[in-house]
Structures are given as C-alpha cells and as structure tokens.
C-alpha cells in the first residue's frame, strides 16, 4: 500500500498541493500556488478543483472497503474532503459518506494518475529534444464549406507511449485505434449582465459529451495506422441542442447582489445564466478525435491521443 500512497502524494504535488500530514489512512494537503499558476516541475493544466475559498484538502484512503473509522475521518476532515477507494463502493455505502465529500474510485484514479504519467513522458521527451510532443502553436481553422467538411485531430502521443501506459494501467493486451466523430462549433455569448464569452466546442457524436476547445490542435487529412472510423450516433439537430445546453451551463455563474435595508447591508447570491437567444452558434464541420481503446486483463482504458489524456469513455 506504501507505493499507492507515494503515487497519490506525487499526484497531489503535480496538481499544485503540498502534503502537510500523512498518517493512519489520511493525507492532508494545502494549496501552494494560486489557481492561475502552474507547478514549475510540470507543464500540464491539471489542478484540483476545490470549492471556493478552500485552501486545504483531506484525503481519506479507504482501500477496497470503507470502514467506520474512514467515515469518522471524513467527518473530522480539514478543508474539503475526498474519499479514495480502489474499488467501486456500493450505493448503500456511499449513502453513509458525509455530504459534499468527493469520491475518487478506481476509474477516477486511473484517469488522474494516467494523465500525470503521460505528462511526465512529455517532459522527458522535451528534455531529450524531441519536437512536437506538446502539439502545434497555432489552432486549426476550417469551415464546413471546406472539402468534405471534416478533419482528423493529429495525435500527440505515439503507439509506443500508449502501449507503455496501457501495460502499467491495465496490463493491456489489445489496442484498437478508433476515430471518434465530433461536431465542431464556434460560439459567442452576450449575457444579460453585460458579460461576453466566446470559444469552440466539439461535441461527441457518439455519446453526446461536450468538450470545450482549450488549446491548439493540428488537423490532418488521414491516419496511416490501421484504425476504425466510427459513424455519428447523434443527428446534427440533436447535437446543436446539446451544444446550446452545454454552453449555457458553462457560462452560468453565481453572483453576489448587495443592497442596503434598514441600515444593514443585505447580500444574496443569484444565478446568472445565458439564454439560448444570448448565444450565436456557428457550425464549423466535423472533427475526428483519435482514441486508443486499451483492453486489459482487469480494465478497459481509453486514451485520447489528440489531448494526451486518459478518458473514461470514447469521448
């Protein structure tokens, strides 16, 4: 179990937190840099998403079984509480977990640890002078009017890296490269409170899961390695409705409203959410995202080759 503790502590440092205590199945860590800064030893974008004002986070490591002592540690947690379990706990047990506790199960741990391992391999490659590991410096630009109206996002990790990761995470024995179609949209939001937003969204046409365009990608016309090209499961009309819903949710905020009443300052929070009419949505065609489905003896792990991230599904 010591190896797992070391890996968890390593991940905390990767995500910008420093462990301050570690004993009896509990790790307490505190923030060591501001939200808009990066850990200087890593160049990735990962950070733990804590609740507003949270400076500390307590991890309770329960192993495969959750005991009464684990629940007590969660009740006494400093700052935000996270329950770490190496198996999927039954709902009856989860109902006993204190409210607002975040749960990291086996799938969540695989995704988080896998991302860290990929990031390390990127840094090792950069230090050895290998170019192209971090992707292009400019975003792709194309419209649906372009021939075919579709492109493929270029992989930034190769099969050697995928197989190494698959072996560590799942003892992988079968690797399938699948091109997953995504509808690509560009949007602009003029919210009623005067705030404006813009960005790109690529929506999985198989599962309907939205992904927001957060960094540059390079597009290519073909992949020479053997692969399976999937067909859309969701119609364009349905994808547009899902895109609107995702954009509205992304740009919804809780804002404080203050006013004076009887000599006292009243503070309330109200939800500010854009309406469909506040959004201008432009179709930008179809992109295919290369995904490696790694089938192992215990797990099936999905690796997004264009983002260099572990996914929980083909999304």
Q: pLDDT at position 280, please? A: 96
What ranges do the domains of the chain cover? 2-36+53-104, 139-311
Q: Rounded to an integer, what distance in angstroms lies between the CA atom of residue 130 and that of residue 251? A: 38
What residues pair up with 268 in beta bridges, in sequence order? 257
Q: How far is CA 245 from the centre of its chain?
A: 19
pLDDT tens digit sequence for 138-157: 455 544 444 455 789 888 88
Which alpha helices (H) appear in the chain, and where do they start and end?
2-14, 68-75, 91-94, 106-127, 159-170, 236-250
The pLDDT > 90 percentage for the chain reads 21
The number of helix segments (H) and strand segments (E) in the chain equals 6, 16
End-to-end alpha-carbon separation of the chain, Å? 32
Q: How far apart are CA 266 and CA 259, in angstroms?
A: 5
pLDDT digits (tens, 9 = 90+) for 188-200: 999 998 999 999 9
Please give the model's pTM, rounded to 2 decimal places.
0.57
Burial of 181 (0-12, 13-18, 19+ CB in 10 A): buried
- Residues 98-153 pLDDT 10s: 878 888 887 778 778 777 776 665 544 433 333 333 444 445 554 444 445 578 98
């Amino acid at each position: 179990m010591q190896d797992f503790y070391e890996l968890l502590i390593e991940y905390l440092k990767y995500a910008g937190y420093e462990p301050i205590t570690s004993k009896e199945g509990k790790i307490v860590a505190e923030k060591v840099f501001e939200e808009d800064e990066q850990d200087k030893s890593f160049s990735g974008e990962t950070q733990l998403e804590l609740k507003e004002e949270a400076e500390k986070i307590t991890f309770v490591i329960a192993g495969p079984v959750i005991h009464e002592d684990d629940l007590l540690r969660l009740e006494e947690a400093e700052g935000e509480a996270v329950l770490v379990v190496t198996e999927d706990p039954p709902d009856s047990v989860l109902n006993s977990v204190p409210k607002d506790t975040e749960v990291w199960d086996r799938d969540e741990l695989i995704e988080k640890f896998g991302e860290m391992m990929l990031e390390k391999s990127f840094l090792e490659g950069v230090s050895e002078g290998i170019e192209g590991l971090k992707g292009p410096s400019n975003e792709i630009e194309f419209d649906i009017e372009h021939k075919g109206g579709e492109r493929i996002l270029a992989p930034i990790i190769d099969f050697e890296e995928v197989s190494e990761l698959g072996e560590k995470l799942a003892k992988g024995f079968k690797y399938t490269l699948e091109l997953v179609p995504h509808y690509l949209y560009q949007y602009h939001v003029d919210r009623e409170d005067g705030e404006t937003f813009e960005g790109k969204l690529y929506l999985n046409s198989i599962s309907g899961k939205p992904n927001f365009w957060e960094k540059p990608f390079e597009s290519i016309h073909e992949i020479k390695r053997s692969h399976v090209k999937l067909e859309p499961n969701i119609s364009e009309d349905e994808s547009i409705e899902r895109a609107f819903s995702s954009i509205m949710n992304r740009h919804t905020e809780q804002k404080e409203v203050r006013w004076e009443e009887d000599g006292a300052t009243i503070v309330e929070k109200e939800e500010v959410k854009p309406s469909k009419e506040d959004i201008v949505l432009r179709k930008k065609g179809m992109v295919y995202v290369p995904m490696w489905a790694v089938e192992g003896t215990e797990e099936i792990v999905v690796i997004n080759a264009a983002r260099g991230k572990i996914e929980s599904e083909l999304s």
